[in-house]
Structure 1
């Protein structure tokens, strides 16, 4: 009985397609600094990001991004830079992949209006401006609700003529305590999202994905999810993800000094593709 339970848990953890995935890229953050052959910083502040975030993303600044004790650490800080009152870090992979299994082991931050995310974006806007060429949130998370995540896929046409497929807000354990595995599986027929092996969302992509608003940018079923996407890691602060009527006024630098945990630690990032 015990052996059967262990096998069941293991099969759930690895997701659908056991035995079909081959590791093609990974970073275990075992060095002393960020491997820039694998990662590139994204820098700057609003209006660059488009949703009223409060942070300035810095480059090569250990206070915001560092590798230590076998982990990548991204830290949001209440401190002025340029016209922003907060700093943080945002990275993307130098590689892109068409379909695959993306696995991130991370311990998430905790605190008012902290907004960590792991997501993928197209390497080129083949089908038009955002999000006609696709936008996938492997997860996003609100720091004052540290047991709840959300997954999202955006496609169908350029904003505002697009489609949003979004998961229910799904509760797990406190994701700021201990490392948890966030998995996104993407093949020709569907996309699946899992936390610690538990699938909580799925989107069928073997169909016409046009929103039926504006001009159809696609010529085949499954588009735009037939092109390479790169992976992004970041911790944002505030913005439109925190409606005032639900989450209250935007966090102030003084309030942010009381954040219980302003860091996202990443143990590893791994990308697999089907054999």
Structure 2
């Protein structure tokens, strides 16, 4: 989700993998009505770094991508882990406790580069463990600073002398914001939430990641399980890549809703040339026994297999995204060498996905980058200078849709990470 987090709801049929599952449900092709809705959300994909629209990701490009995926619906891609001789478990968390040595909180008001409506903090109201489950739960900022401060004459300052409490991102006024006249009438971020990462504890270069999780339910919630490069070896985003294992939408009734999960790879020489449309897929959930099933109904295993030969994401027994590294990224993206520098010349065929990545978990809310496309059912407009105000003023419409108790939270039962890297010293035991 960093910087803008694309989720293109362009469905391809699920194909089976060898991941075991004991949950009885099925995946299906979309109905004609659903196809129309999915195609209508092509504008969701047309956004990039710091909420500007991607100049190349117009509806026609998305429609072309959609048609290509329909042609592949019945093709079951091979596992990207083919040819891996061995793997070793390098990380596991069953969440018997919340280990803050493992999980570092991001602390910022920046809105993820998308002008999202939450701010991230280290607070046990928003990130906590109960009965062996980790919860990342959004709450109202007014519960911390008071209602008056959210809308007028309030201030949140995240600078701190304690490293574990200090602001982590100052972009877009991310460490210090005010409300009211001094902020041109803008409110403070009205939602308080959590985003945690393993940047200082666990990273992976080729391997497998599995996260057993239940998605949150509630309008305008934006959960994500994803990975970012530890060292940005090829330059600033998206040149060094981004791996979105799974992200969703909390709405039950919207153009895109909680029955859809997306996986995306972001890569490009710069923020204006992110070719994620070529490497993005989605999958629709169907319970089989009841209508309107969603990924928020129960726990599922969201996974990543990553080798020098390719990347595959999956949920339980179904492949979401398969990308084979069969050509250099510069060629895959059809970039113009006369006008664009190739940042991956020093890498191998899998570049930029040949470096160490760390894991991120978060729940965002809203935003103006196009992830939630403008619609009569949406209480704010993405081009409105006071979109955050519009969102919060309509809280009587969306707050009742948020799940009771911890059902509005991203719930994580366990996480495991295996290394496929023969040079990984963690495997030499």
| Contact 1:193–1:200, Cα closer than 8 Å, also in 2 | yes
Distance 2:310 2:377 in 1: 33
Distance 2:17 2:233 in 1: 38
So what's the TM-score if we normalise by structure 1?
A: 0.88
Distance 2:110 2:374 in 1: 19
Map 1:155-170 to 2 at 5 A.
Answer: 155-164=267-276, 165-170=278-283
Root mean square deviation, CA, Å? 2.1
Structure index of larger Rg: 2
Superposition deviation, residue 207 in structure 1: 2.0
Superposition deviation, residue 243 in structure 1: 1.1
Distance 1:223 1:201 in 2: 18
Aligned partner (choices 305, 310, 317) of residue 197 of structure 1: 317
SS at match of 2:20: helix
Higher strand share: 1
Name the structure 1 match of 2:96: 30
Aligned partner (choices 175, 178, 192) of residue 87 of structure 1: 192
1:207 aligns with 2:327: yes
Unaligned runs of 5+ in 2: 1-15, 22-78, 146-155, 157-187, 252-256, 287-293, 381-390, 423-429
| Contact 1:98–1:227, Cα closer than 8 Å, also in 2 | yes
Unaligned runs of 5+ in 1: 1-8
Name the structure 2 match of 1:11: 18
SS at match of 1:13: coil
Map 1:1-275 to 2 at 5 A.
Answer: 11-13=18-20, 20-31=86-97, 34-46=98-110, 49-59=112-122, 61-80=123-142, 82=156, 83-93=188-198, 94-144=201-251, 145-164=257-276, 165-173=278-286, 174-210=294-330, 211=333, 212-213=335-336, 214-219=340-345, 220-239=348-367, 240=369, 241-245=371-375, 248-250=378-380, 251-252=391-392, 253-258=395-400, 259-260=402-403, 261-274=407-420
Superposition deviation, residue 246 in structure 1: 7.7
Equivalenced residue count is: 263
Could you list the runs of 4 or more consecutive aligned residues of structure 1 that deviate by over 4 angstroms after TM superposition?
14-19
Higher helix share: 2
Which of 144-153 and 238-247 deviates more?
238-247
